[in-house]
Amino acid sequence: MILLEHLITSKTRIKLLLKFFAHPENKGYLREIAKEFNESTNSVRVELNRLTQAGLLETVDEGQTKIYSANTKHILFPEISSMVRKFLGIDVLAELIEGKIRAVGNIEVVAVTGDYAKGIEANEINILSVGEVFDNELLEKLTKKAKDLLKKDIIIKSVTLEEMNNVPDKLIVWSEK
């Protein structure tokens, strides 16, 4: 978080931006987020309020619980989302995949899953792919290049489209459609 820490001094705010802007479908409520971040509800509440007042997050009341999510209609949403994706390295993965995916095999979809897809900093990146790999050697080279660039372990698993659709937290990095 070195670059973002210089721009944004609150570590809690950085975590919230990563959570909501890396994967715009992410939602959460105060206690759940505080537990996920292992922080006090007060520090999380302060930052949620600031981001909501700025219009970057929106809320929906479900009973007595306030559910937070990214405001995808905010004028800065595309820029913040892009910055978060760059910070996480998702843009690097997309660029690596884009030009070489056809040479690797008959791949339909590639998605990042797990903590990384939720915008939570992790030491490994879990990737699911749908389709058949023809060139394992090229796939290994691309995996090594991504690992070297991102300084993270890369774990790739081949699944069916049905299995991919059943994964709740995923961020599609490439699709043939």
How far is Cα of residue 1 from the mean position of the Cα atoms in its chain? Answer: 14
CA distance 102 to 105: 6
The boundaries of the domain holding residue 114 are: 89-175
pLDDT along the chain (177 residues), means of 10: 52 84 84 86 94 95 94 94 80 74 84 78 85 87 85 89 84 75
Q: What is the pLDDT of residue 177?
A: 67
The CATH number of the domain where 46 resides is what? 1.10.10.10
Query: Which stretch of DSSP H or E encloses residue 50?
Result: helix 41-53
CA distance 107 to 151: 25
Q: Are residues 99 and 153 in the same domain?
A: yes
CA distance 28 to 176: 31
Q: What is the pLDDT of residue 68?
A: 96
Last residue of a domain, one of 57, 83, 109: 83
CA distance 148 to 72: 32
Q: Are residues 43 and 59 in the same domain?
A: yes
Backbone phi and psi for residue 67, each to the nearest 5 degrees, phi listed first: -100, 130
> What is the number of structural domains in the chain?
2
Q: Are residues 93 and 171 in the same domain?
A: yes
